[in-house]
């Protein structure tokens, strides 16, 4: 217990001096204000999300005339996952970029937000986070010390990759699928009808070749980048069972010390870059699908309501999540889908 406490003391001691010498009170002239923030995430520097946030840091520095400097640390070089969010809560001069489920320790609603089988496309998710429901959650989260700068850093859907056509949950009977070690992933794949087999990524290909697993779940980007299709698993069921997305979080206490003019610049740059990233992702995904099809990969739609019905119970196993949260999300998604259909009809 003492060593854990000491670890946090050392981490905060590392981060606090970066602003202590530069910060100013609200009564100080903005020209005297300077702040250094460290931004941490677990993505590779070559991945789209990392490139996007590096671009944000550069523009913020330029548009604030050097007053706000954001230092980016990819691949978990400093505090990440739960540790990163805790640094925010503790008031460090730090920006955490994590899956919203890591905010779920403070408000379970954010865990529900990234539960299984919720979204059919990116627009449903981006529409949901702009609703009064989720904005209310964001406002409530500020009372716990966390300011949400964005929830829209999307990096794609995950699907089922096997050597057979999967359309209904019954088609998964007897299939063993590789998953990450996450309890949520394991329970979701089991609920969908397969047998989840958690394995490190490095063991996945040999497990497929040896028949330990019959396939895996993952994104089309992973499929093309790691050449999963070369294992003979060339059928992709478009389950979209998980949406990969990250939020951007900062301490409310730290945020309050930043002059409003600079706050607007930071929020604008982070928000607009998320939108641009989604546009790039859509274009890139279309190219990836074409490339996979050129390798003989076949994609098929699924009986989505059947899979949704199978996975509803997973929400009850998520810590702190209630079925009331799930139903509120589904009500909002129903309205968003109706609006999308109406818009398409008008076009």
pLDDT tens for each residue of 90-127? 999 999 999 999 999 999 999 999 999 999 999 999 99
Highest-scoring range by mean pLDDT, 14-18, 218-222, 263-267: 263-267
Q: What are phi and psi of 189, to 5 degrees?
A: -65, -40
Which tens digits make up the pLDDT trace of 188-219?
999 999 999 999 999 999 999 999 999 999 99
Q: What are phi and psi of 108, to 5 degrees?
A: -60, -20
CB 300 within 8 A of CB 238: yes
SS3 labels along 48-88: HHHHHHHHHHHHHHHHCCCCEEEEEECCCCCCCHHHHHHHH
Q: Which residue has the tokens 């850093």?
A: 153
Give the span between the Cα atoms of 35 and 11, in whole angstroms.
18
Q: How confident is the model at residue 255 (pLDDT cuts 50, 70, 90)?
A: very high
To 5 degrees, how large is the angle CA 319–CA 173–CA 195?
A: 40
The tokens for 308 are 């949704």
Q: How confident is the model at residue 340 (pLDDT cuts 50, 70, 90)?
A: confident
CB 262 within 8 A of CB 33: yes
125-128: which pairs have CB atoms within 8 A and are 24 or more residues apart? 125/152, 125/154, 125/243, 125/245, 126/152, 126/154, 126/278, 127/336, 127/339, 128/329, 128/332, 128/333, 128/336
| Nearest Cα residue to 209 out of 171, 159, 163 | 163
Which tens digits make up the pLDDT trace of 5-46?
545 555 555 555 444 334 444 444 556 899 999 999 999 898
For residue 130, pLDDT beyond 90: yes
The tokens for 111 are 């865990």
Which tens digits make up the pLDDT trace of 285-296?
999 999 999 999
Q: How far is CA 170 from the centre of its chain?
A: 29
Q: What is the mean pLDDT of the chain?
A: 91
For residue 220, pLDDT beyond 60: yes
Pairwise pLDDT comparison (17 vs 128), residue with the higher score: 128
Mean pLDDT, residues 177-196 taken together? 95
At 21 the pLDDT is 37
Mean pLDDT, residues 279-308 taken together? 96
The single-letter DSSP state of residue 319 is: T
Give the span between the Cα atoms of 72 and 35, in whole angstroms.
14
Give the span between the Cα atoms of 14 and 75, in whole angstroms.
19
SS3 labels along 27-58: CCCHHHCCEEEEEECCCCCCCHHHHHHHHHHH
Kindly list the structural domains of the chain, giving each domain's residue range(s) and its CATH number in brackets, ordered by start.
2-26+33-156+245-286 (3.40.190.170)
> How many Cβ atoms from other residues are within 10 Å of residue 296's Cβ?
9
At 184 the pLDDT is 93
Rg from Cα positions in the chain: 21
Percent of the chain with pLDDT over 70: 91
The single-letter DSSP state of residue 205 is: H
- Cross-strand bridge partners of residue 298: 235
Q: How confident is the model at residue 344 (pLDDT cuts 50, 70, 90)?
A: confident
């Amino acid at each position: 217990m003492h060593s854990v406490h000491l670890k946090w003391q050392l981490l905060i001691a590392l981060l606090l001096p970066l602003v202590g010498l530069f910060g100013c009170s609200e009564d100080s002239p903005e020209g005297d204000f300077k702040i250094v923030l460290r931004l941490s995430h677990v993505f590779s520097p070559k991945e789209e999300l990392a490139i996007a946030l590096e671009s944000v840091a550069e523009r913020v520095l330029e548009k604030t005339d050097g007053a706000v400097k954001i230092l980016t640390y990819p691949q978990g070089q400093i505090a990440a996952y739960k540790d990163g969010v805790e640094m925010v809560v503790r008031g460090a001069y730090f920006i955490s970029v994590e899956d919203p489920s890591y905010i779920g320790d403070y408000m379970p609603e954010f865990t529900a937000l990234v539960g299984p089988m919720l979204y059919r496309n990116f627009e449903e998710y981006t529409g949901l986070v702009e609703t009064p429901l989720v904005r209310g959650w964001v406002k409530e989260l500020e009372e716990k010390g966390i300011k949400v700068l964005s929830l829209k850093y999307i990096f794609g859907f995950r699907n089922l990759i096997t050597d057979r056509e999967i359309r209904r949950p019954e088609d998964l009977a007897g299939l063993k699928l590789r998953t990450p070690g996450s309890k949520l992933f394991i329970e979701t794949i089991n609920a969908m009808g397969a047998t989840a087999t958690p394995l490190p990524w490095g063991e996945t290909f040999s497990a497929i070749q040896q028949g330990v697993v019959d396939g895996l779940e993952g994104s089309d980007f992973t499929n093309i980048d790691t050449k999963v299709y070369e294992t003979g698993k060339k059928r992709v069921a478009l389950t979209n069972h998980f949406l990969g997305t990250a939020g951007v979080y900062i301490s409310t206490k730290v945020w309050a010390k930043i002059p409003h003019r600079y706050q607007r610049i930071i929020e604008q740059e982070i928000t607009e870059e998320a939108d641009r990233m989604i546009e790039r992702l859509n274009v890139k995904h279309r190219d990836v699908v074409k490339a996979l099809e050129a390798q003989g990969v076949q994609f098929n739609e699924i009986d989505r309501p059947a899979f949704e019905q199978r996975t509803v119970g997973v929400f009850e196993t998520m810590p702190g999540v209630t079925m009331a949260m799930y139903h509120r999300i589904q009500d909002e998604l129903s309205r968003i889908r109706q609006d999308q259909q109406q818009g398409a009809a008008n076009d």
